Structure 1
Amino acid sequence: MVTPATTGPADPAGAPAGPPSPHDPALRADAERHLRALAGESARLREDQWRAIHALVAERRRALVVQRTGWGKSAVYFVATALLRARGAGPTVIVSPLLALMRNQIAAAERAGLRAHTVNSANPADWDTVYDDISQGRVDLLLISPERLNNPDFRDRALPRLAAGAGLVVVDEAHCISDWGHDFRPDYRRIRTLLAELPERTPVLATTATANGRVTRDVAEQLEIGDGAATLVLRGPLDRASLRLSVVDLPDTPARWGWLGRHLADLPGSGIVYTLTVAAAVDTAAYLADLGYDVRAYTGQTDPDDRRRAEDDLLANRTKALVATSALGMGFDKSDLGFVVHLGAPQSPISYYQQVGRAGRGLDRAEAVLLPGREDREIWSYFASLAFPPEDTVRAALAALAESEGPVSLPRLETRVDLGRTRLEQMLKVLDVDGAVRRVRGGWTATGEPWSYDSKRYAAVTAAREREQRAMLDYIATDSCRMEFLQRQLDDPDAAPCGRCDNCAGAPFSAEVDPEHQARAARRLDRPGVAVAPRRQWPTGMAALGVDLSGKIPPDRQADEGRALARLTDIGWGTELRRVLAPDAPDQPVSDRVFNGVVEVLAAWPWAERPVGVVAMPSATRPALITDLARRLCQVGRLAPVGGLAYTTPQGIGPRRHNSAQRLAQVADALTVPDPVREALAGLAGPVLLVDDHTDTGWTLAAAAHHLRAAGARAVLPLVLAVRN
């Protein structure tokens, strides 16, 4: 969407001169006319906007535009589209990362008199109509997601026609093409295949606000695929004159929540509060709502309709803030967004620059406040663990696909490869881009093409991520200009002190926390209890792992809904439980504080029938903790000590597996109900608590409940300290 900043004066003095401004009066007048239709009578093209438009329309070449948010990158492709369509060119195809961005772009295109459509996962009923409109020349601009490029139906049915007939191809948020960028997405790299298949002299535009020198060079080189001519790179200064950057460093989460609860009302207009995890977004939104603020949680797990309503409410200033994960990121466009607060630091200064860039596009002043947390590095470490898998895991996946006579679905591949569903699919997308596998109807197949594990590159990318994390810590600690720091991270030659940030002009907010707000935040964070949903159906393909379990779990073999003290990702209890359950933490009796939290969970548990006994899970790593927890629960709740399950072999369950099929195969036959436990169960007239330290996939609890119900337990209520997801 075009913002007021887009319609401002030509590039300021001191900006890089760039290539000479093309002298083509008639085309420029035409371009200016289309810009005024888009952005108002006062709108004038910036010089680099004109250079890009001329390169695309008159020279039919490929260009990369790296400019700050709000500069007007979208105006370039809207105006170029209008000019090219008037000259008989085919529709513009925009590869765009998010549905929210697509909706904004469609609305802006329509204001410019362009007929815009989209093909995405949310509108399958419209696809045939859109394809027909394209063939009839009734579409000026088509927006698609990068994932759509490898959807078998779209790839085989629509993509060849689009590639052959596109008048312009636009790659938005182009830093995603590069695995050196802060938000690499495998599906974006499929664009290389699209570029290679374009007819000669099809213009291509790539745009981003967050590319350092290395990413800029990488993307520019990729744009030359199938063309050969050098990419025109137009890069401008990245200072955001409206942003006031500041850091408020507080000792713990109650202080940060207390500060936010006190100061949210003081922040201008409406804005975004970013968190690092889904749990933090949901919990923070609930806390702020309790204080009377009109806020919404916005995450990748939020219902799509709820997300759209939340976006609309923020755009219309009907809500003070969205409390969001990075799911509300690239492309969300609100010109009068007054503030961005980060409750926890992103992993890199470049990610941070991109997110704070949501604010102040059409304002003279907007606040960007970072509230770093002591747990940030633990969360970064978790995300780092999801990097590209080791070679033996990748080879196992390739072998499984090669040995299959047909396509293999993700659930069935999980029986051969020990990766969680999301990470497995991400790995396959990388292999698809590399040509080693292919997504087809029904799943994935191996291509048979040779493939090598580029360990040096993966290690270099990991090292780059670690440098970014250190740089983020340096940003928090610096006493120099914060905007200049971010600009230097992006290799901006125009980096200079901004005169506006807390280090240049003084802190705009006090770090003192109102005691009443902090106490209220602490009470909220100390509120324990998370529901643990039971498993209802066995994973697909267990027979391949020698496990005779399939279909729905019979109701008389299921666990009931359980409870956990907290999620490990929680910013309240989760912080303490991460220490208790850390791999190097000693196995010792549960602390009084943690035990009292568990008792509060029990007191608030709305079970259908009160438990009468306690069963402990076996553990090779924390037997003292689990045994002590079970014993104390029996004492405080006057429950029968039923005993504990046992392992069938001295090895126990073995190293942790990461997906449902692999985990169930581990635990299904590894657990047994000892005879004394069977005898105790026979004498109980009510449910039993099943006590463990944590749950992740949920299959250990499901298998244990299956055994206990078969041994005579009337009902099984899982109770764990922590949920890992």
Structure 2
Amino acid sequence: MGDMTSAPGAVSTTGPDRQALRSRADELLGALAGPRASLREDQWTAIESLVADRRRPLVVQRTGWGKSAVYFIAARLLRELGSGPTVIVSPLLALMRNQVEAAARAGVRAATINSANMTEWDDVRASVRAGDVDVLLVSPERLNNPDFRDTVLPALAADAGLVVVDEAHCVSDWGHDFRPDYRRIRTLLADLPEGVPVLATTATANDRVVRDVAQQLGVGERPGGSGGPGTDSGDPAAPDTLVLRGGLDRESLRLSVVAIDDSERRAAWLAENLESLPGSGIIYSLTVAAAEDMAELLTSAGHRVSAYTGRTDAGEREELERSLLDNEVKALVATSALGMGFDKPDLGFVVHLGAPPSPISYYQQIGRAGRAADRAEVVLLPGPEDRAIWNHFASLAFPPEDVVRRVLDALEPDRPQSTQALEPAVDLGRTRLEMVLKVLDVDGAVQRVRGGWIATGRPWHYDAERYAGLAQARQSEQEAMIAYEQTGSCRMEFLRRQLDDPTLDPASGGCGRCDNCTGDRRTASVDEGALDRAREALERPGVALPPRRQWPTGLARLDVPLKGKIADGPAEGRALARLTDLGLGQRLRGLLSGADQEAPDWVVRACVPVLRDWGWDERPTGVVALLTGERPVLVESLARALAQMGRMGHLGELTREPTLPPVTAQNSAYRVAQLWGTLSGPETAPTGPVLMVTDLYGTGWTATEAARHLRAAGARAVLPLAVATAG
């Protein structure tokens, strides 16, 4: 096969025989996808550009097109030409597991380095050094782990025969799933020897994301063009680039929207219609609570389903994925934790219980269905609560400049500080602070080292225009999602326009498959028996509220003399429901968003089973109202009603001095500092347990400070009871 037989360790300088390459590529595809499989022309164009021309193509193709076949075949061909192993940066463990199995079918020896297999890292490194690994899959989080970055990454960059950036839209904060860790890839690419090819792939990128990925990774398309087979980059900074961008129509998908405003009716509709959907599939929800509630409801209705969320541990996730792959369950009820990379070609349906915040993320998720099926059902069940959930996640975006500057000011060049230690210095929650630090790290202003983070002293520019543009783009995407729900035109064409599909023909007349094109609409009616069962399941009150166990670190820096374990905090509490719950939670959301009022009878009645089933060690002897929220009338009237009903003493109210500024801190240390010593109320309490009634339970720090006050007044235990909890 000509240059296909080059000796290991030596890359051919005369150029491979392209006809022999094509023949070998077809052989490898047969091993990977079956003897009847044949390479698409764009697949071969990408492979040829990588193997024969050592270029940097960007492949933007729909889910199921065969992007993984491109990089596995290219990896094997380059290996046979004597190149080093391929490094694939891959975002999810599910994707890694599927790809290792797929690689084996093509005779490609693959291994992974990620947070779930740390005990195997040394063996994997040894296998790479020994030449026993063709493909190494690396999670993006590893790229900025100090040990990995300083000891493993340089060797990978020096020896790599090919670098693949899978799900490349994650590089761009204009994309629907931006991940700061992905930006570390730029460092890896900068350290590559000359001539090492790079492949970037994604299924979900509009024009703006494509341009951003091109700028950051050195791949792109000619300005003013949508890009097509063989489109060269016009960017002088990336002269050796190629974009392959195909159509996004999915002929197997049947898109429909069922508009039901009531959350319990939506749940009942799904319970009633699930078995009519083909095969097995995924039911997406916007929150963990909704996924868990829906899984429980469907299970009680006799359906074979399981919940799959960010709370699901890695071992259980793998087992649940396998159960869906083997059709042992009808559906997984999942959050976006089950997303990119999950590969079940015969997935029969995707249902969304609540709409994602953008058509682009919606397209990415529905792309899981119908990849190797003639027909797959895609159903959207939007809810009026969707906007509130979108706005919550939008509030976690990159913070204002003064907050970011405080993060920089808190860091020192020679004394590493952990994220936890930095919290008292800046009012950001830990997850958001971690995101800010990662962005600053990639921008060169800070560096992650062993023991935490340090300042580099390099100047840093706050790109206010970009962040404002991002906020506006997110708002526009939300409005577009609402428009998708309400459109009377072709739904598939709507999504393709949102992703700037270069092959979309405005005069096509629609896909001919969606509910709008066919006029075949799903009924929104629900059997009353199914509705009653859904209500009974979803309105069952009672959510546990675990107490805070440990004071935040660094409180001494805020002049608060508290540290270590919390010895005088509350016991485990209860809330009637979460505001994100599908049933009772939605009724409570309406109550708490309206004007303050006395507790309605249905709220008082909902407390009865919660109190009855609490399982406390000792029955409370008194009731106190914690009036630190926005609904003092609701809380005080509920406390009095429960005291009378349960024959407990009414102890009065715990309040915060009204002249004090409101508690607005986002991170735990600052919140404790704002609350410490600010509550007043009963100075003596019965020696027995006290039931403490409040409206909305959030971080738990207000309840902790209130319990500390009541315990000091003599209460033996404090039992928080909230009307609702935010999460």
Structure 1 residue 660 corresponds to structure 2 residue 662: no
Is the contact made by 1:620 and 1:652 (CA closer than 8 Å) also made in structure 2?
no
Is the contact made by 1:35 and 1:45 (CA closer than 8 Å) also made in structure 2?
yes
Is the contact made by 2:689 and 2:715 (CA closer than 8 Å) also made in structure 1?
yes
Amino acid at match of 1:224: G
Aligned partner of residue 31 in structure 2, secondary structure: helix
Structure 1 residue 562 corresponds to structure 2 residue 556: no
Structure 1 residue 714 corresponds to structure 2 residue 704: no
CA distance in structure 2 between the aligned counterparts of 1:152 and 1:101, rounded to whole angstroms: 24
Structure 1 residue 169 corresponds to structure 2 residue 163: yes
CA distance in structure 2 between the aligned counterparts of 1:219 and 1:254, rounded to whole angstroms: 42
Amino acid at match of 1:396: R
Counterpart of 2:224? none
Amino acid at match of 1:293: H
Amino acid at match of 1:588: Q
Counterpart of 1:10? none
Kindly report structure 1 stretches of 4+ aligned residues shifted beyond 4 Å. Answer: none
Counterpart of 1:382? 392
Amino acid at match of 1:703: E
Q: Give the counterpart of 1:300 among 294, 305, 310.
A: 310
- How is 1:107-256 mapped onto 2 (pairs within 5 angstroms)? 107-224=101-218, 228-256=238-266
Counterpart of 1:58? 52
Structure 1 residue 71 corresponds to structure 2 residue 82: no
Structure 1 residue 343 corresponds to structure 2 residue 353: yes
CA distance in structure 1 between the aligned counterparts of 2:70 and 2:42, rounded to whole angstroms: 9
Task: Choose 187-196 or 337-346, whichever is displaced more.
Answer: 187-196
Is the contact made by 2:62 and 2:248 (CA closer than 8 Å) also made in structure 1?
yes
- How is 1:665-704 mapped onto 2 (pairs within 5 angstroms)? 665-675=673-683, 678=684, 681=685, 684=686, 686-704=688-706
Q: Once the 2 structures are TM-superposed, how far is the Cα of residue 673 of structure 1 from its aligned partner? A: 4.9
Q: Once the 2 structures are TM-superposed, how far is the Cα of residue 23 of structure 1 from its aligned partner? A: 9.6
Amino acid at match of 1:570: D
CA distance in structure 2 between the aligned counterparts of 1:595 and 1:231, rounded to whole angstroms: 66
Is the contact made by 1:349 and 1:468 (CA closer than 8 Å) also made in structure 2?
yes
Identity of aligned residues (%): 63
- How is 1:326-365 mapped onto 2 (pairs within 5 angstroms)? 326-365=336-375
Structure 2 residue runs without a partner (length 5+): 1-15, 220-235
Q: Once the 2 structures are TM-superposed, how far is the Cα of residue 653 of structure 1 from its aligned partner? A: 6.4
Aligned partner of residue 719 in structure 1, secondary structure: strand
Counterpart of 2:292? 282
Task: Choose 573-582 or 27-36, whichever is displaced more.
Answer: 573-582
Q: Once the 2 structures are TM-superposed, how far is the Cα of residue 586 of structure 1 from its aligned partner? A: 2.8
Is the contact made by 2:440 and 2:446 (CA closer than 8 Å) also made in structure 1?
yes
Amino acid at match of 2:572: E
Structure 1 residue 487 corresponds to structure 2 residue 481: no
CA distance in structure 2 between the aligned counterparts of 1:281 and 1:588, rounded to whole angstroms: 31
Task: Choose 696-705 or 105-114, whichever is displaced more.
Answer: 696-705
Amino acid at match of 1:177: V
CA distance in structure 2 between the aligned counterparts of 1:107 and 1:244, rounded to whole angstroms: 30
Counterpart of 2:533? 520
Amino acid at match of 1:499: G
Structure 1 residue 31 corresponds to structure 2 residue 42: no
Cα deviations across residues 105-132 of structure 1 (Å, max 9, x unaligned)?
0011111111110011101110011111
Structure 1 residue runs without a partner (length 5+): 1-21
Amino acid at match of 2:411: L
| C-alpha distance 650-378 of structure 1, shift in aligned 2 (>3 A) | closer
CA distance in structure 2 between the aligned counterparts of 1:260 and 1:620, rounded to whole angstroms: 36
Counterpart of 1:3? none
Counterpart of 1:18? none
Counterpart of 1:509? 522
Counterpart of 1:629? 638
Q: Once the 2 structures are TM-superposed, how far is the Cα of residue 539 of structure 1 from its aligned partner? A: 1.5
Counterpart of 2:331? 321
Aligned partner of residue 126 in structure 2, secondary structure: helix
Counterpart of 2:547? 534
Q: Once the 2 structures are TM-superposed, how far is the Cα of residue 644 of structure 1 from its aligned partner? A: 2.2
**TM-score after normalising by structure 1:** 0.93
Q: Once the 2 structures are TM-superposed, how far is the Cα of residue 435 of structure 1 from its aligned partner? A: 1.2
Task: Choose 696-705 or 280-289, whichever is displaced more.
Answer: 696-705
Matched residues, number:
692
Q: How much is the aligned-residue C-alpha RMSD, in angstroms?
A: 1.7
Cα deviations across residues 479-538 of structure 1 (Å, max 9, x unaligned)?
111111111111113224211111112335322211111121122222111000111221
Aligned partner of residue 415 in structure 1, secondary structure: helix
Is the contact made by 2:651 and 2:682 (CA closer than 8 Å) also made in structure 1?
no
Task: Choose 131-140 or 82-91, whichever is displaced more.
Answer: 131-140
Cα deviations across residues 225-245 of structure 1 (Å, max 9, x unaligned)?
897324200011111111111
CA distance in structure 2 between the aligned counterparts of 1:292 and 1:324, rounded to whole angstroms: 18
Is the contact made by 1:116 and 1:139 (CA closer than 8 Å) also made in structure 2?
yes
Q: Once the 2 structures are TM-superposed, how far is the Cα of residue 575 of structure 1 from its aligned partner? A: 2.0
CA distance in structure 2 between the aligned counterparts of 1:284 and 1:93, rounded to whole angstroms: 39
Q: Give the counterpart of 2:319 among 285, 301, 309.
A: 309
**TM-score after normalising by structure 2:** 0.93
Counterpart of 1:49? 43
Is the contact made by 1:221 and 1:231 (CA closer than 8 Å) also made in structure 2?
no
